[in-house]
Amino acid sequence: MNLTVNGESHEHAGTIAALLSELGANPEYTAITVNGDLVFSKDWNNFKFSDGDSVEVLTFVGGG
Amino acid sequence: MKSEVRNQKSEVGTQKLILGGVEFTSRLILGTGKFSDTQTMIQAIEASGTELVTVALRRFNRDKPDDDLCAPLAKLKNVKLMPNTSGAMNAKEAVRAAQLGRELSGSPFVKVEIHPNPHHLMPDAIETYLAAKELAADGFIVLPYIPADPVLAKKLEDVGCAAVMPLGAAIGSGGGLSTAEMIKLIIRDSNIPVIVDAGLRAPSEAARAMEMGCDACLVNSAIAAANDPSGMARAFALGVKTGFAARQAGLMPKSEVAVASSPLTSFLS
């Protein structure tokens, strides 16, 4: 199915963990929103993407 | 009244900074932006002795993984994270950013900052108030970055903020304590810690803020943009400590006229 991940089109049919692995993101340092809603890490295993979902993959950067 | 309360606290030896029930020995909070590289940032954090640092939330960049920031920060055992809400244009976005920050950091601390105008980065008082109120009710330890406005500061105290963080000058400007008179008014009435956030350039300004009665200073650009960030971090730690010690010792009263230090009578007579 087609997702929008951080603003870019991305074919993906698996779990959140698999998506992070594809992106090379460390799950420990990553937060996820789907269509604007936070998906808690405890719910990642049971989460199913739907076609057209807009996914944001976020992490900490330096900031004041 | 406030100064009496403060003096009493210091007399019984309560010298720790308390934010939302959490005690801190260091009264210097560091921002982690603008450092040339992660190693320089970590060294500056260690040199400063800080126990609380701010971080920002951004999209993961697969070309430039930021594990190099998260992993080294996680190793600093005495340093707590305070995610900020930078990038949020209104209260709704700030609340969402705070929730993401808490999920990611596991930390209850949040620096609410909402500054929609990129030219001056002045905080939006109304949206900041709305976000802070909601987040405090949701159990966050809320430290809002605010204009140096004593009325707003009091309202933020009333809705359960753990501290208020008035700006000394515009973010990253190095303008110093340009709002000193307003910050004094905030301190006078505040029952929660007052932290100068933004604008400080020199450790002497941090010392002055503490002498005035501020409870802590939040510094980023002045350290990150110094020739030697670790050296400047150490200098700011000393500035904050010096100013706090001076306030506890109590500055002498000012006089309009000279008051001689040496006896003026019985000279060679």
A34 at the B interface (CB within 8 A)? no
- The pLDDT of B67-86, averaged and rounded, is 88
CA gap B162, B21 in Å, rounded? 9
Nearest-CA distance A36 → chain B (Å) = 9
pLDDT in tens, B11-39: 433 489 999 999 999 999 999 999 999 99
C-beta atoms surrounding B106 within 10 Å: 9
pTM: 0.89
Does residue B267 carry a pLDDT above 90? no
What token pair was written down for A1?
């199915």
Does residue B187 carry a pLDDT above 50? yes
Q: Are A29 and B24 in contact (CB under 8 A)?
A: no
Domain holding B22: CATH number?
3.20.20.70
User: What does the pLDDT read at residue B66?
Assistant: 55
Question: Does B255 reside within a domain?
Answer: no
The domain total for chain A is 1
Residues pairing with A50 in the sheet: none
Q: In this structure, is the dihedral angle defined by the CA atoms of residues B195, B197, B199 and B201, taken in order, positive or negative?
A: positive
Q: Domain limits at B207? A: 2-249
Q: Chain B contacts of A30, Cβ < 8 Å?
A: 60, 104
Q: How far apart are the first and last CA of chain B?
A: 49
A59 at the B interface (CB within 8 A)? yes
Question: Does A63 reside within a domain?
Answer: no
CB-CB: which of A24, A38, A56 is closest to B62? A24
Question: Does A20 reside within a domain?
Answer: yes
CA gap B260, B247 in Å, rounded? 24
What token pair was written down for A47?
């989460």
Residues pairing with A31 in the sheet: A58
A42 at the B interface (CB within 8 A)? no
User: What does the pLDDT read at residue B14?
Assistant: 46
Nearest to B153 by CA among B185, B117, B186, B199: B186
Question: Does A11 reside within a domain?
Answer: yes
Chain mean position to CA A24? 12
The domain total for chain B is 1
User: What does the pLDDT read at residue A35?
Assistant: 95
Q: Domain limits at A34? A: 2-58
Q: Are B30 and B218 in contact (CB under 8 A)?
A: yes
Q: How confident is the model at residue B141 (pLDDT cuts 50, 70, 90)?
A: very high
Enclosing H/E stretch for B217: strand B216-219
Q: Are B198 and B169 in contact (CB under 8 A)?
A: yes
Q: Are A34 and A43 in contact (CB under 8 A)?
A: no
